[in-house]
Amino acid sequence: MLLILLLAISCRARERVLHLTPNTVMDAALKGGESHWYRINLPPGQFADLVVEQRGIDVKLQLYRPDGRPFSQVDSPNGTQGPEPLPLLGATGPLRLEVYSDDQKAAAGRYAVRIGAVRPATGRDRARVAAERDFAAAKELQERGGSASLRAVAAKLEQTISQFEILGNLGRAADASYALGRVRIKLNEPAAAVPALQKSLAAFRASGDRNAEGRTINSLCPAYLSMGLPREALACDYNALAFALGSPSGEANALNNLGRAQESLGRAEEALVSYDQALILWRRLGLRSKEGLTLSNRGNLLGALGQTQRALDDLDRTLSLLEENSKAGALEIRGYLRSQAGQPGPAAKDLARALDLHRRAGDRRGEAVALNDLGLLYQSLDRKKARRAFDEAAAIFRELGDRSNEAVVSVNRGRLRAGDGDLSGAEADFEWARKAFVAAGQPLNEAMALLGLAKVQRERGDLLGALRTVETSLARIEALRTQPGSLALRTSFFASYQDPFGFAVDTAMELHGREPRGGYDAKALETAERARARTLLDALAQAGANPWQRVDPALQAREAAAREGLEAAYQRRQALVGSGASATQLEAAERDLRQHLGELERLEAAISHSAPPDATFQPLSLEAIRKATLAPDTLLLEYALGERRSFLWVVSSRDLHSYELPRKADLEEAAQKAHGLLADRRRTLVRREVEPALARLSRLLLGPAVSQLDRHCLVVVPDGALHLIPFGALPDPAAEGVPLLTHHEIVSVPSASSLAALRLEAAARKPAPALVAVLADPVFESTDPRVASRRPRPAPSAPGRSRRFPRLRFSREEARDLLSLAPPGERLLALDFAASHELATSGALGRFRILHFATHAIVDTEQPELSGIVLSMVDELGRPRDGLLRTYQIYQLHLPADLAVLSACETALGKNIRGEGVVGLTRAFFHAGARRVMVSLWPVEDRATADLMHRFYEGLFRRGRTPAEALRQAQDDMRRQPNRQDPHFWGGFVLQGDWR
């Protein structure tokens, strides 16, 4: 009490008397961290209607009783603009009002004290004062933190909303509804937050309060995202961005939220652009903590994309920007990524530090999350510690009433118990979690609990029960697989849920061993097909294989054009901001930007509400595979690699045979060794090792099925590292001393179902009218003699350029030789500078049935979207230009070719993604419309490639062979030539797709 009195006495010298003259305004300036004191003389029984209007600075109001005790604090959630209402009832002595800013770094601003009515208090006046005090009390209670306090805050706010509505004060009811929505978000109750925020938004919109409207939209967008409504969130974020124009901090916040929505829809590239734009603004504003939060979001996305090092770099930077008490989330992400990168020590330190920060802050939810992550890490280090961490995490989530997260921990603990042989305990954990996930409407998490139950059933010997249970798990996964809007996200989604498919395959084959006539081997094959190349099937469906199942293409095209227009408008506006443009120019640019934002918002909403059938192509059954893909002279060889053992299915038009193979690790080691030897240019050093390596691989992969390899055409569906192997170069186990291609045509396909989809898509379109287009011998350097200015000089780096490329002189000969062999028909020969990125993306190549690229290629196995075909990197004057035709750009092209030949190094390679196979250039050309693609598995020798291509096209054009037979014969002829017997020279090219 003494301290309060001393404070009051010390303030009296600085306080001013606030004269309660009705309908007057008193204006004042205020700096960050500064306080102004006012003395208010209002007799008992009187009422005064006061409002403090904020004008560029966020102020708080604290009212003190005559004895110096504080009794009412006001801080409405409206930032630096808007009213802070303070209705007063009189007292027996003078009241004191403190107007202050508690942000020492806040820019100076102004506020105005507006005095309204001053009159004897009515019952309605007293009710209004009571409502405002309840609102203030809720705010004060909220600052104490903790979920228990927040629930009490929510209850008080609901009461306050009712009080304001009874009084007819809809503006303050909207403020309280907004505050309630924010509290519900903090309680992780987005479904309850959204109605409160929508209610406040409608009121603010009706009153014309654009500042409050924009603030509410910014809160509503992430709530939609938390509810699993990413399209609604996206449309909301575009609206928020329109409101934020002119406010750099609001714009940055909207861009950050927009990135999160784009990320959730699988638009990874767009999300990264949004995060990058937000980061630029945060840095200009010097808001380090905000920059850190956006960097954390970007790092999390990069980690999900498999770009672990870039993600870790972002998170390292994040942690250098954030205050200590804000680092827990970034530490958790970094700890998880470090554990995935095989760094258990640093990962444990990060997670332990995150746990400590959560505990210091009293953040029980964060504490439980960190404990769960530590439990996952400890599973391979100290299983007792893992069990304790899971138990503690589950107890905290139970205390918080968070059944969904408790169920996640229960699944993790169940896996631990199952590994320790406690099947009853594991079953109890999985079953409890399953029921909780069903109640919460979380089918993906339910799928993981079902997989756990299936594994327990199998351990107990109930194979049939295990297969039935895991089938239910697969149904949950496949029902949601198509929901992410982007094919890229579907790829990562499906890769994350491959374990149930592998378990189902292995269980079905175990049943086949017990009941050979039960059809379980066919069941296993069909399950393997369900797990393969599903994103490619979806891409083919979207490209036209199932045109009746697509979203309205006109609407999609308008949406894509609107997004491009928005990006261009944003860049124009940003350029003006940095150029000192006039206010009139900036206003015009912002009007243009708002128009683009509005158009895109409308289109996103239209797509969201149209809810069309999904564009999918279902995997085929065994009988459908036979009918759709296999002729009497054809065999399908489909591989599935497993952790304990692998399988091979050999399918003919009449029969199915299945074989057990060694485990994945052994087969991949042999495949990688053989590929490395074949690709090595030091032929004299490795030639002696190649033959035994290929012989061993043939025994492993083909030996068990040697009696079945009696058909001319072999269609191979590889798995894992088997994509690196040219099966035609393997020794034929039925004919000692000759490669498999001597007696067999060999093609590879991502899956049998994708082959059927390629055929269906090709049958639904008209053949391209022109014959062949060839792009060859591009110009890579300004020092090239073909450049008009002969003066040697290094070319400045062009976009996408990271290394120098030697000229491929034989590619010119290869191109001209190809055209000399071709029959009459429309042709295109693009050499030198004409072999350009502009030509490739112009749409001109869509007229040709055969596309041939003779040049270099870049293969990025970590970021396959950045792989590409290298075209001319300079123009005729030696000026640099972007010559890299990237994978993601090929995806956007329309190339309905019968054959695309990528006569460059390693064009068959890419990122090997579980369940999808190799994602790279080949997949991009399939998506663009090519029916078959010929690509290389290792760096090919220029002269040998030209020789192979001559033989290939001679067989194709002059002898009327199919592409598969033409390639087989060309390779067989080459291997018989002097100095060409080594498969390094002839075996690197493979045909993928439809061989017919």
965 has pLDDT over 90: yes
Tokens 């579907």 belong to residue: 490
Does residue 795 sit in helix, strand or coil? coil
What's the confidence (pLDDT) of residue 485?
38
Q: What is the mean pLDDT of residues 931-951?
A: 87
Order of strands across the sheet that contains 46-55:
24-30, 109-120, 46-55, 81-89
Cβ(589)–Cβ(576) below 8 Å = yes
What's the confidence (pLDDT) of residue 291?
94
Tokens 């205020």 belong to residue: 30
Please, what is the average pLDDT of the chain? Answer: 83
Tokens 């015009």 belong to residue: 588
Q: Where is average pLDDT lowest: 732-741, 901-910, 972-981? A: 901-910
What's the confidence (pLDDT) of residue 683?
58
Question: Model confidence over 635-649: pLDDT tens digits?
Answer: 999 999 998 999 999
**Distance from first CA to last CA of the chain, Å, rounded?**
94
What's the confidence (pLDDT) of residue 427?
96
What's the confidence (pLDDT) of residue 114?
92
Q: Where is average pLDDT lowest: 33-37, 172-176, 547-551, 955-959? A: 547-551
Q: Tokens in use for 63? A: 């009212």
C-beta contacts of 623-629 below 8 A and 24+ residues apart: 624/756, 625/529, 625/651, 625/752, 625/753, 625/756, 626/651, 626/652, 626/653, 626/654, 628/752, 628/755, 628/756, 628/759, 629/715, 629/752, 629/755, 629/756, 629/759
Question: Model confidence over 328-383: pLDDT tens digits?
Answer: 989 988 998 898 888 989 999 999 999 999 888 878 888 898 899 899 889 888 99
258 has pLDDT over 50: yes
What's the confidence (pLDDT) of residue 313?
93
Q: What is the mean pLDDT of residues 783-791?
A: 76
More confident of the two residues 46 and 628: 46
Q: What percentage of residues in the chain have a pLDDT greater than 70?
A: 86
What's the confidence (pLDDT) of residue 907?
60
What's the confidence (pLDDT) of residue 635?
93
Q: Quote the Cα angle for 61-288-290, to 5°.
A: 70
What's the confidence (pLDDT) of residue 609?
53
Does residue 875 sit in helix, strand or coil? coil
What's the confidence (pLDDT) of residue 650?
96
What's the confidence (pLDDT) of residue 795?
44
What's the confidence (pLDDT) of residue 523?
94
**DSSP per residue over 355-374, as a string?**
HHHHHHHT-HHHHHHHHHHH
Q: What is the mean pLDDT of residues 541-564?
A: 55
Query: Alpha-carbon distance 779 to 709, whole Å?
Result: 46
Give the confidence band of 799 by pLDDT, cuts at 50, 70, 90. very low
What's the confidence (pLDDT) of residue 968?
93
What's the confidence (pLDDT) of residue 993?
86
545 has pLDDT over 60: no
What's the confidence (pLDDT) of residue 693?
93
Q: Tokens in use for 559? A: 């949406």
What's the confidence (pLDDT) of residue 857?
82
User: What is the distance, to the nearest Å, from the Cα of residue 823 to the centroid of all Cα atoms in its chain?
Assistant: 46
Rounded alpha-carbon distances, angstroms, from residue 741 to 733, 900, 919, 965, 981: 12, 21, 26, 10, 14
Measured in residues, the chain has a length of 996
Q: Tokens in use for 416? A: 């631990």
Question: Model confidence over 28-52: pLDDT tens digits?
Answer: 999 988 999 999 999 999 999 999 9
94 has pLDDT over 80: yes
What's the confidence (pLDDT) of residue 127?
92
21 has pLDDT over 90: no
Cβ(485)–Cβ(266) below 8 Å = yes
493 has pLDDT over 70: no
Question: Model confidence over 121-141: pLDDT tens digits?
Answer: 999 999 999 998 888 888 777
Secondary structure letter of residue 884 according to DSSP? E
Q: What is the mean pLDDT of residues 228-242?
A: 81
Question: Model confidence over 664-714: pLDDT tens digits?
Answer: 999 999 999 998 898 886 655 667 888 899 999 999 999 999 999 988 899
What's the confidence (pLDDT) of residue 773?
95
Give the confidence band of 991 by pLDDT, cuts at 50, 70, 90. very high
Q: What are 72's strand-pairing partners?
A: 63
By CB atoms closer than 10 A (0-12, 13-18, 19+), residue 449 is buried
Q: What is the mean pLDDT of residues 226-253?
A: 82
541 has pLDDT over 70: no
Helix (H) or strand (E) holding 941: none
What's the confidence (pLDDT) of residue 915?
41
What's the confidence (pLDDT) of residue 565?
76
* Residue whose C-alpha is closest to residue 115's, from 176, 164, 46, 64: 46
Q: Where is average pLDDT lowest: 186-190, 323-327, 557-561? A: 557-561
Q: Where is average pLDDT lowest: 70-74, 343-347, 502-506? A: 70-74
Give the confidence band of 971 by pLDDT, cuts at 50, 70, 90. very high
Cβ(899)–Cβ(928) below 8 Å = no
